[in-house]
Structure 1
Amino acid sequence: MTPITEVEGRRIPLSNLEKVLYPATGTTKGELLHYCATVAGALLAHLHNRPVSFLRFPDGPAGQHFFTKNPPPGTPSWVKIAEVPRSEGKAARQVVVSDLATLMWAANLVVEFHTPQWQADAPAQADRLVLDLDPGAPASVVECCAVARWLRERLAADGLHAYAKTSGSKGLHLLSPLEPTPSDRVSTYAKTLAREAEAELAGLVTHKMAKALRPGKVFIDFSQNAAAKTTATPYTVRAKERPTVSTPVSWQEVESCADPAELTFLIGDIAARLERDGDLLGPLINLNRAGRIP
């Protein structure tokens, strides 16, 4: 029998709580749901008013993965749905995770949360810039940190404040809060930054996606600024061998990183970091340091 829990007055069935999703660590689905509930304040703040795309992995990271933007079958009637324009001019429907009940319903589906750089009521008007630093072996997040330091200074030269989080995989994400700006304009600017970084950091950076160019280099993926693209939401758990989390990190941590293990965080690490540091990506939400791209 599937247990039912009540969250903020909503009755939510929670299934297979003892199921081991991450054999490498023995992490169960119940532990994953507990993590989401524990960090809900920070996670919901970054999901707020953004249409969500789900990467579902119901049988764990070794099982089938499927990416969906449409509301999953069986979505409760009380879940908020946003009408989102698509490139072909038709409107699509996507979930907005607006409260704890919706978060726990979605977490029960076993998902990564991915969100665009714009909010549901202002499609394609980006309020943040993102640069995804993806290392090609034997490069690692250590090399990403070196590139991040250069990009931080470059962004500062244009009056933009940069903040960092781990991808929850191998790399690093840099984000800058913006005054609302058309996504295509942000994409053009981000591509310019990536090309400048490749020119300045010869041998360490590529701005091209081709796999053949990436061994030993950091690929700066600027494409996630496009209106139709999404990025892993801060604090989401990833479908990797272990329950790694896309975790905000301080610039001190970026500057001192000498080993990838120093910037690898699991679900059990996050509550203590939030208690100690608060949300290091808070400026992305309150926009008190929002900049304007040149």
Structure 2
Amino acid sequence: MSRGEALELTVDGPAGPRAVRVSSPDKVYFPERGITKRQVVEYYLAVAEPLMRVLGERPTTLKRFPDGVAGEPFYAKRVPKGAPEWVQPVRITFPSGRTAEQVCPTEPAVLIWAANLGTLDFHPWPVRRPDVDHPDELRIDLDPQPGTDFHDAVRVAGVLREVLDEAGMTGFAKTSGGRGIHVLVRIRPEWDFIDVRHAVIALGREVERRLPEQATVAWWKEQRGERVFLDYNQAARDRTVASTWSVRGTPRATVSFPLDWADLSTVDPDDFDVLTVPGLLAERGDSHASMDENAFGIETALEWYARDERDHGLGEMPYPPDYPKMPGEPPRVQPSKARKVDGEG
């Protein structure tokens, strides 16, 4: 079956127009709905302006689906060979200490170039160059566990909003594109990744105190139960979430969509996909457009973290398994296995 002749698109940007080649535009990326590569490219052209506000000057991992959602995706953490000279790199340091030159979007043509490579999700770091060691965005990932759903995440997000307000911060909510919710806070880039992760832990613990039957920060799955997990490790270095406006690798071609808090309880994540979102953007605008107007501090959340450690013995929590051992981190052994070892001793 023919996938169509290659297209050459002209994409305007701050440095003038760029010619971007799109190969096999009729290749089907989403078989269930017949959505093609061309339609994904057209989608990214339609949302380029707000997406550039999200990705601009940020190291960005590309989640690529070269064979569409029926194939195996992979994360591209380095600028691919043969990239145009206008695809700018930025050097980042992984937890291991190794470095890489990662894609740093600076103009809309980069989005279309990436889409031509099969990129569906853009995963930006919460930092901007030139300072890639101090996050300017605090991210909280509300991840419904088995037995829970999006509506459970909505309830937890409402309590998180109250907690953020008490900590002197304003959050912006979006659908993850799946069953979850992401809450983003613009912060001053004055703290390192460890501090920001500690702030997220403290915020998550406070939500868990208020909703113990619905929310958890437990790292080990066996301890989470049917609750919404506040994934604090998404705040660790080199951990990212799919950006606002990213297409997700779901059968429906859903999109991570920005919402007003008032809308959160009335929507379904499947409302937002490659075919519907351009019209919604034209009709409603970008509800996160004001996010950069105020940058907040995390001092109160860090005070809560110190209080929990001092008064309740709640200190550092496990990092992801691929991380080097971190200062103060508890053993990376799930509790049931640790009890078994202790019992055998």
Q: How do residues 257-276 of structure 1 correspond to structure 2 at under 5 angstroms?
A: 261=268, 264-276=271-283
Deviation at 1:293, TM superposition (A): 1.0
Indicate the larger mover: 272-281 or 36-45. 272-281
Gaps of 5+ in 1: none
Deviation at 1:262, TM superposition (A): 5.8
Cα shift readout 1:96-134 (whole Å, capped 9, x = no counterpart): 111121111111112110011111211121111111001
Check the 8 A contact 1:129/1:190 in 2, yes or no: yes
CA 1:166–1:262: 2 relative to 1, 3 Å: closer
Misfit runs of 4+, over 6 Å: none
2:89 to 66, 81, 87: 81
% identical aligned pairs: 33
Deviation at 1:75, TM superposition (A): 1.2
1:230 to 227, 240, 253: 240
Check the 8 A contact 2:95/2:237 in 1, yes or no: no
Deviation at 1:209, TM superposition (A): 3.2
Aligned equivalent of 2:57: 49
CA distance in 2, matches of 1:213, 1:58: 37
CA distance in 2, matches of 1:121, 1:226: 19
Q: Which has the larger radius of gyration?
A: 2
Gaps of 5+ in 2: 300-345
Aligned equivalent of 1:291: 296
Indicate the larger mover: 73-82 or 40-49. 73-82
Check the 8 A contact 1:18/1:30 in 2, yes or no: yes
Deviation at 1:90, TM superposition (A): 4.3
Cα shift readout 1:51-76 (whole Å, capped 9, x = no counterpart): 11011111111211111211123212
CA distance in 1, matches of 2:225, 2:97: 39
Check the 8 A contact 1:83/1:94 in 2, yes or no: yes
CA distance in 1, matches of 2:136, 2:50: 18
Aligned equivalent of 2:258: 248
Letter of the 1:268 partner, please give it. Answer: L
Check the 8 A contact 1:7/1:101 in 2, yes or no: yes
Is 1:20–2:20 an aligned residue pair? no
Check the 8 A contact 2:163/2:206 in 1, yes or no: no
Total equivalences in the alignment: 289
**Structure 1 length-normalised TM:** 0.92
CA 1:3–1:267: 2 relative to 1, 3 Å: closer
Aligned equivalent of 1:142: 151
Q: How do residues 23-102 of structure 1 correspond to structure 2 at under 5 angstroms?
A: 23-102=31-110
Letter of the 2:185 partner, please give it. Answer: S
Indicate the larger mover: 147-156 or 109-118. 109-118
Any idea what SS the aligned residue of 2:151 has? helix
1:239 to 236, 246, 249: 249
**Structure 2 length-normalised TM:** 0.79
Q: RMSD of the TM alignment (CA)?
A: 1.7
Higher relative contact order (CA 8 A, sep 6+): 1
CA distance in 1, matches of 2:283, 2:95: 43
Deviation at 1:283, TM superposition (A): 3.0
Higher strand residue share: 1
CA distance in 1, matches of 2:19, 2:61: 23
CA distance in 2, matches of 1:116, 1:279: 21
Q: How do residues 105-144 of structure 1 correspond to structure 2 at under 5 angstroms?
A: 105-111=113-119, 112-144=121-153
Cα shift readout 1:9-41 (whole Å, capped 9, x = no counterpart): 433221111111111111111100000001110
Any idea what SS the aligned residue of 1:75 has? coil
